[in-house]
Amino acid sequence: MYRWSCALVCALLAVAEVDGHARWKCPAPRDENDADGNHIPFDNTGNKVGPCGPYSGMYGMNGVRVLKPGPLTLTWEESIAHVGSPFRIAILDEHEKVKVVLADHIPHDDAAKTTFFEQFYTPYHLTVDIPDVQCEKCTLQLIYFMTDKTVKCGSLLCTYYPEDSACSGQIDASEPTCFGAPNDVPCLKEDTCFSNYHTCTDVTIQGTRSFEEFDMDLQPMDWPYKNLTMGVYGAEEAVWEGGWLKDVPARFNTVAEFLEC
């Protein structure tokens, strides 16, 4: 039997609460490097405040990718696994407001290896459809909803509100802060998804149409989770193999255009 010292266990738990847990890999995240070009450690994925963590409002900080409409394979990494915690991929406009959702309720890989340091990351790949939109300043946003924490705090389902992206899990300041909440600031709404990770990558999309011609829900009709309510999340997991989601139509787990990263 292994014996863990209290100091080591406490240190690991502290890292688990402070460090963040998922960010873009390819395209590279906005927060890959700081303003001086120095690498930002992966623990900066603790971007609990939306829409893009501490680098919100800093479009182009790590360069801008030019995209064309059509299938595109995206990759992100997870450094610490949160059981049953889903993801969402959306496109933001230059004001960092959500214009379209490309894939919602992306289920978690509960077999992902949990790590505590910048050594090993679980990769996720998903092929999405970039719409035929003309957008000079757009951002691909990935959100990781930590529903393992909301479930433990009594909410089997939570709703994501940008203004409540990081709060205590309680609307009453006299109530105890939910375990794992990022702070003790009261939430504005009941049953909010109070702990989330945000990662952004900046792009230009060379399409021909305006966002006004599209519905916000641009998930393909054959996306298996399209019937779930957008913005409302619970414990959601599925089988992934080699970084790819299994048991979905081939368009989602087949390499399309891979960006060089």
Q: Averaged over 239-255, what is the pLDDT?
A: 96
Under the phi-then-psi rule, with left for phi > 0, alpha for psi from -120 to 50, and beta for the rest, what region is 56?
Answer: beta
In contact, 92 and 139? CB cutoff 8 Å: yes
Q: Is residue 224 part of a domain?
A: yes
Segments forming the whole domain that contains residue 26: 22-258
Q: Is residue 15 part of a domain?
A: no
Q: Averaged over 219-241, what is the pLDDT?
A: 98
Q: Is residue 89 part of a domain?
A: yes
What is the tally of structural domains in the chain?
1
Q: Is residue 192 part of a domain?
A: yes
Mean pLDDT of the chain: 86
Q: Is residue 74 part of a domain?
A: yes
CATH number, domain at 158? 2.70.50
* pLDDT of 176: 95
Does the structure show a pLDDT above 80 at 45? no
* pLDDT of 3: 34
The model's pLDDT over 175-191, given as tens digits with 9 standing for 90+, comes to 999 998 989 999 999 99
Q: Tell the burial category of 190 from Cβ atoms under 10 Å away from its Cβ (0-12, 13-18, 19+).
A: exposed
